[in-house]
Amino acid sequence: MPASFRSKAATTGFALAALSLACVLGNRPAASGQATQTAPMTGATPPNKATPPTATPQVAPGGASAPQATPATATTPPRPGAFNAGAARAPEDPAQVERGKTLYGLSCQACHGQDLRGGDMGGPNLLRSQVALSDQHGELITPIIHGARQAQGMPNIGLNDADAQAVAAYVRSVVGTIKGQGMPPGELKALNVVVGDAHRGQTYFDQHCERCHSPSGEFAHIADKYSEPKTLQARWLAGGRSTALDAPGNKTTVSVTTAPSQTVSGGLLHIDDFLVSLHLPDGTEQSFKRRGNVPEVVIHDPLQAHRDMLSKYNDKDIHDVTAYLVTLK
């Protein structure tokens, strides 16, 4: 083959190889963090890039541009912290709700309960029913009242359309008052625990409590320290442990005797049938294995008397003592 021909063939081969390599590299995706740029052709529209539509302003009479209307959204902001947070409900007709409440009491309460949480005859809790939570205008509740779920045990209770709609409105009105998970519907009412007899409470205190507590000593002005009667009642029932964890007199201690004249004492950290752990006065911790009664373990709990009394109190005793303690100001 002539040399000139071989030279031209080699040049052509190099050109084709370079063109193929360029095509391959041009089709490869850019590496992470590396942008690719393609020079646009003159007069051509870049591929995969749609030209944004040009908005044509509406012209009102007189040449002024008319304001563009903003599309209305149908979504109502959810109720923050709601039990089943959804769209806020429109107010129900008070007259229809009152009528529905009466009909509910006559026809539904036995199964679903006075507070809609389920009744003695085994009806489901309506406050957790997706039907009751999703119903807007009776479209879900009314068919069930008319017998749509007889196969599941919900009978047709014989209400006409108007009465069924009234019951549905009442159910929605109660569901709409749910505020947060675990909270009952309706308005929160302050619980009054001062319902006992203060004189009987003083007598009970003198008989069972005065050997350890004094109304003129540590209990003086206790009603000022705990101004909320519910808090005061909870504190004296628990022996004040939750408010005096660091008080030396309220700490549970333990003594462990491993041999005659060898006793270790400290604050009780843990105890079970196999192990006892204690906090020593020098700040260290020590544990002992237990095998039956070895080693000998003696617990000193200053609040044990309160624990023993918990099984002896009745509601009347608790209310009477609380009624007495709220007078110690």
Q: Does residue 235 share a domain with residue 313? A: yes
Residue 75 CA from chain centroid, whole number: 24
The 10s digit of each residue's pLDDT in 72-86 is 444 444 444 444 544
* The last residue of a domain, from among 144, 175, 206: 175
Q: Where are the alpha helices (DSSP H) in 42-140?
A: 94-107, 109-112, 130-134
Q: What is the residue whose two structure tokens read 């209400």?
A: 159
Indicate the SS3 state at residue 88. Answer: coil
Q: Between the CA atoms of 301, 305, 306 and 312, what dihedral angle is there, to the nearest 10 degrees?
A: 150
Same domain, 126 and 169: yes
Same domain, 312 and 278: no
Residue 143 resides in a domain: yes
Classify residue 49: in a domain, yes or no. Answer: no
Same domain for 150 and 100, yes or no, is yes
From residue 120, give the alpha-carbon distance in Å to each of 109, 114, 127, 152, 317. 9, 10, 16, 18, 31
In a domain, 44, yes or no: no
0.75 exceeded by the pTM? no
Residues 154 and 271 in one domain: no
Query: Strand 285-289's sheet: what is its strand order?
Result: 285-289, 275-279, 262-271, 253-259, 296-300
In a domain? residue 10: no
- Domain assignment of residue 56, yes or no: no
Cα–Cα distance measured from residue 212 to residue 305, given in angstroms and rounded to the nearest whole number: 10
Q: Which residue has the tokens 């209770």?
A: 157
Residues 207 and 312 in one domain: yes
Q: Residue written as tokens 């041009």? A: 26
DSSP-assigned states of every residue in 260-311: TTEEEEEEEEEE-SSEEEEE-TTS-EEEEE-BTTBSEEEEE-TTHHHHHHHT
State whether 235 and 318 are in the same domain. Answer: yes
Q: 276 lies in a domain? A: yes
Domain span at 311: 198-246+307-325
- Amino acid identity, residue 91? P
b/e map of 121-133 (b: 16 or more CB within 10 Å)?
eebbebbebeebb
Looking at the fold, whether 152 and 242 belong to one and the same domain comes out as no
Dist. CA 117–CA 322, nearest whole Å = 32
What confidence score (pLDDT) does residue 67 get?
47
Looking at the structure, do residues 267 and 151 belong to the same domain, yes or no? no
19 within some domain: no
Give the number of domains in the chain: 3
Specify the pLDDT at position 192.
86
Indicate whether 144 and 108 sit together in one domain.
yes
Distance CA 199, CA 179 (A): 40
Phi first, then psi, for residue 276 (nearest 5°) are -135, 130
CATH of the domain at 157: 1.10.760.10
Residues 228 and 264 in one domain: no
Report d(CA 118, CA 127) in Å as an integer. 9
Q: 284-292, long-range: CB within 8 Å, 24+ apart, which pairs? A: 288/256, 288/258, 288/264
- Same domain flag for 156 and 110: yes
Domain annotation covers residue 216: yes
Cβ atoms of 280 and 286 closer than 8 Å: yes
3-state secondary structure of 218: coil
Intervals of the chain under pLDDT 70 = 1-88, 179-189, 240-250
